[in-house]
Amino acid sequence: MFAVTGITGQVGGVAARTLLDTGLSVRAVMRDAAKGAAWKERGCEIALADMNDAAALTAAFSGVDGIFLMIPPIFDPTPGFPEARAIIAAVTTAIGVAKPSKVVCLSTIGAQATQPNLLNQLGLLEQALNTLQSPVCFLRAAWFIENAVWDVAPARATGVVPSFLQPLDKPVPMVATADIGHLAAALLQETWTGRRIIELEGPRRITPNQIAATFAEILGRPVRMEAVPRGAWEGLFASQDMKNPTSRARMLDGFNEGWIEFENSDQSSRKGHTELKTVLKQLVARI
């Protein structure tokens, strides 16, 4: 039996389906009972737990062979990340009590970066889980190709897509969520001791200009990227009701300046199989 958090999302959903298709048992950890029906029909055991509730998480994590752990993304955190710290404290307490045989934790490229930015939340998660006795594998994933979902509407409507990733011809490590979920399921079936770090990106790095060109091919119309000036970022994010936009802006700086990167660049990262065009076609068909 494997406990899977984030099962209603893209990565957790793929991990759970992969385990089920392999004939393994899955305990779906979720906070909304209404979303559990479809997973129950597929044979999952349902465990209701909020990610801030250490007692409920302990029950959800007890008696399993392994856990796929991902914490909810907080895109507009309060300075100091108190929201993430509360979740991390609850998760760490629960795993410490439940003592599963292994934990595969979804982390991120750049989790080791010391510069203040949005991804520090997952660095804090790694630090906390490092104190536990259970074997832990940190699956550090690249930028999700699915983030291009926000680009579909402007690509279709105007053919001009604003880009915060710059320069527009700079290759960025990206990966499809399907590749992350498949690898997470595979790692749960492995055995190891201590700590592991697995870094994952797609088959090749992708530039913003390549994203535009692929949209143009799919949509059958010209599409180009347009760099959003750095000086406009915080004001633009604030206009979108972000209260603390600096951490997001600094994350983007990290990708653009190169200090958000895998610890060993792309030399030792694992490579997924899903191509950019495959993901963008799915996004266009869905929206």
Tens of pLDDT, residue by residue, the chain (287 residues)? 999 999 999 999 999 999 999 999 999 999 998 899 999 999 999 999 999 999 999 999 999 999 999 999 999 999 999 999 999 999 999 999 999 999 999 999 999 999 999 999 999 999 999 999 999 999 999 999 999 999 999 999 999 999 999 999 999 999 999 999 999 999 999 999 999 999 999 999 999 999 999 999 999 999 999 999 999 999 999 999 999 999 999 999 999 999 999 997 777 899 999 999 999 999 999 98
Helix (H) or strand (E) holding 200: strand 195-201
Measured in degrees and rounded to the nearest 5, phi and psi for residue 131 equal -85, -5
Q: Which helix (H) or strand (E) holds 140?
A: strand 136-141
CB 14 within 8 A of CB 106: no
Q: Are 251 and 260 in contact (CB under 8 A)?
A: yes
Look up the CATH number of domain 2-144+175-202+261-273. Answer: 3.40.50.720
CA dihedral 9, 142, 217, 151 (to 10 degrees): 60
Task: Kindly list the distances between the CA atom of residue 62 and the CA atoms of 75, 92, 263, in Å, as whole numbers in the listed order.
Answer: 30, 13, 33
Nearest C-alpha neighbor of 148 from the set 207, 191, 93 = 207
Contact yes or no for 263/111 (Cβ under 8 A):
no
* Cα–Cα nearest to 105, from 11, 26, 193, 27: 11
Whether 171 and 1 have beta carbons less than 8 Å apart is answered as: no
